[in-house]
């Protein structure tokens, strides 16, 4: 529709814009260089390897030389007898974790923030983040100690009319045990970022609120939470981008055949397959599937967040 002249004007206008942007932000682009170099070389350099999911990889022929398999690995994955189950389990575990484990560190940070004694605050912070550093094998061993017959937690549950054998032999208890142990392990460590964010909130705002007569909870609602919101949103978006990544290590240490129906997730299922025979291509295909869904979730979360409160990744 535009005449040649107008088109030319547009292009020059655009070119002018770019030149202006360059002259204003030259230094910035220079500061970007190291990171750009890093990503190009170490992330995009190897990126061609992603095609392995569409090939029948053979080590001898290498990635580029191996024959094409198209979508056959994906087909195998989707047509698997247990696909629906492991997919559902993965999603459910992730969602429960999101619902219960995601807010826990936030709550902890808020509580710690209310403590006035610096010593006690420091003490609580230092101790609560210790479980994160204890190796997973030990943590799961302790979880089993508590949830097997005779263990504290099992006895409590039994007295409330629940299972009378190990909790981890009952499919209904797996997710609660898993999520609870996630909270236990991570609450301290993950609260650190929120505590840091809280310390950046302008003290003057608190002063103003107090002058207005706001009590502790009012202050929390009107100053603390809004101040924390950007951090919470960004952590939420990043978490959504990891939703399908339920790591197999912890699942394998806690699960067993009697609770496959709630405990078997994508990663543990693929791991077992790999024990029979490791198939690079199949693993890669599953990983790619996970990634696509995760990316979609991230984009969605980002969009919603931007709409609702202008906090977003881009």
Partner 1 sequence: MQASTRKASSAILLSLMLTSTALTACSSSNNETGSPSPSASPSSSASAPASESASPSDSPNAGGSVYPIKTDVMLTRWLDSGAFSQQLAVTPKLEDFPFNKELEARTGIKVKYELPAVNQAKEQLNIMFASGEYTDIIEWNFVTGYPGGPEKAMQDGNILKLNDLIDKYAPNLKAYLAKHPEVDKQIKTDSGAYYGFPFIRGDDYLMTYGGPIIRKDWLDDLGLEVPTTMDEWYTMLKAFKEKKGATAPLTFISTPRLFDDLQQGLFYGAFGIKRDFYMDDGKVKFGPAEPGFKDFLTTMRKWYAEGLIDKDIATVDGKIRDANMTSGKSGATYALAGGGIGKWLTAMKDVDPKYDLVGAPYPVLNEGEVPKFGQKDFAAPQGGNFAISPKSKNPELAVQLLDYGYSEEGSFFFNFGKEGEAHTLVNGYPTYTDPVKENLPLNLGLYTRATGGPFVQDKRYYEQFAALPQQQEAVKTWGQTDVDKHQLPPISPTAEESTEFAKIMNEVNTLVDETTIKIILGTDSMDAYDKFLTKLESLNIDRAIEIYQAALDRYNAR
Partner 2 sequence: MRRTIGDRLGDAVIAAILLALVIVSAYPFLYVLLASFSDGNQLLAHSGLLLRSYGFHLDAYETVFRNSAIWKGYLNTITVVAGSLLLNMLVTSMTAYVLSRRRVYWNKAFIFLIVFTMFFNGGLVPFYLVVKGIGLIDSLAALIVPFAVNTFNLIIMRTAFASVPESLEESATIDGANHFTVFWRIILPLSLPVLAVITLYYAVEKWNAWFYASLFLRDRELFPLQLILREILISNSTDSMLGGASVDQAVLVSESLKYATIIVATVPILCLYPFVQKYFVKGVMVGALKG
Contact set with partner 1 (CB under 8 A)? 58-62, 76, 80-82, 141, 144, 148-149, 165-166, 168-169, 252-253, 255-261, 264, 269, 272-273, 276-280
Residue 276 binds which entry of partner 2, partner 1, none, CB below 5-8 Å type-dependent: partner 1
**Alpha-carbon span 299 to 305, nearest angstrom:** 10
Residue 122 binds which entry of partner 2, partner 1, none, CB below 5-8 Å type-dependent: partner 2
Residues in the chain: 314
74 or 100: whose CB is closer to partner 1? 74
Residue 258 binds which entry of partner 1, partner 2, none, CB below 5-8 Å type-dependent: partner 1
245 and 294 Cβ atoms separated by less than 8 Å: yes
Angle between the N-to-C axes of helices 72-79 and 83-96, in degrees from 0 to 180, rounded to the nearest 10: 80
**Alpha-carbon span 255 to 239, nearest angstrom:** 24
For the chain, give the longest Cα–Cα distance.
85
Rule CB under 8 A: is residue 142 a binding residue for partner 2? Answer: yes
Dihedral, CA of residue 142, residue 258, residue 293 and residue 191, to nearest 10? -20
CA 156-101-153 angle, 5° bins = 10
Residue whose tokens read 């002259």: 23
**Alpha-carbon span 67 to 83, nearest angstrom:** 26
Shortest approach of partner 1 to residue 253 CB, angstroms?
8
Of 251-310, which residues contact partner 2 (CB under 8 A)? 280, 284, 288, 291-292, 294-295, 298
117 or 159: whose CB is closer to partner 2? 117
**Alpha-carbon span 107 to 27, nearest angstrom:** 41
114 or 172: whose CB is closer to partner 1? 172
Contact with partner 2 (CB under 8 A): which of 96, 158, 210, 253?
Answer: 210
Mask 219-258, x = binds partner 2 (CB under 8 A)?
-----------xx--xx--x--x-----------------
178, 179, 184: which is closest to 131 by C-alpha? Answer: 184
99 or 295: whose CB is closer to partner 2? 295
Shortest approach of partner 2 to residue 222 CB, angstroms?
16
Of 4-23, which residues contact partner 2 (CB under 8 A)? 17-18, 21
């Amino acid at each position: 529709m535009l005449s040649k002249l107008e088109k030319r004007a547009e292009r020059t206008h655009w070119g002018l814009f770019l030149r202006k942007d360059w002259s204003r932000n030259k230094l910035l682009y220079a500061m970007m260089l190291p990171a750009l170099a890093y990503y190009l070389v170490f992330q995009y350099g190897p990126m061609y390897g992603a095609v392995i999911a569409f090939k029948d990889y053979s080590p001898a022929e290498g990635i580029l030389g191996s024959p094409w398999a198209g979508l056959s690995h994906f087909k195998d994955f989707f047509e698997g007898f247990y696909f629906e189950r492991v997919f559902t389990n993965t999603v459910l575990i992730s969602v429960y974790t999101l619902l219960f484990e995601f807010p826990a560190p936030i709550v902890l940070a808020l509580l710690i923030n209310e403590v006035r004694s610096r010593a006690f605050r420091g003490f609580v912070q230092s101790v609560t983040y210790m479980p994160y550093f204890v190796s997973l094998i030990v943590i799961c061993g302790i979880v089993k100690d508590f949830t097997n017959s005779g263990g504290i937690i099992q006895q409590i549950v039994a007295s409330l009319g629940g299972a009378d054998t190990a909790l981890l032999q009952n499919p209904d208890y797996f997710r609660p045990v898993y999520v609870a142990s996630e909270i236990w392990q991570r609450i301290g460590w993950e609260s650190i970022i929120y505590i840091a964010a809280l310390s950046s909130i302008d003290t003057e705002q608190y002063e103003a609120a107090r002058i207005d007569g706001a009590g502790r909870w009012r202050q929390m609602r009107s100053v603390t939470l809004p101040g924390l919101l950007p951090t919470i949103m960004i952590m939420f978006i990043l978490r959504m981008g990891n939703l399908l990544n339920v790591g197999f290590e912890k699942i394998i240490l806690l699960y067993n055949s009697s609770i496959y129906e709630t405990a078997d997730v994508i990663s543990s299922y693929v791991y077992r397959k790999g024990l029979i025979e490791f198939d690079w291509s199949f693993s890669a295909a599953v990983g790619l599937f996970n990634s696509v869904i995760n990316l979609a979730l991230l984009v969605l979360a980002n969009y919603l967040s931007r709409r609702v409160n202008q906090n977003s990744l881009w």
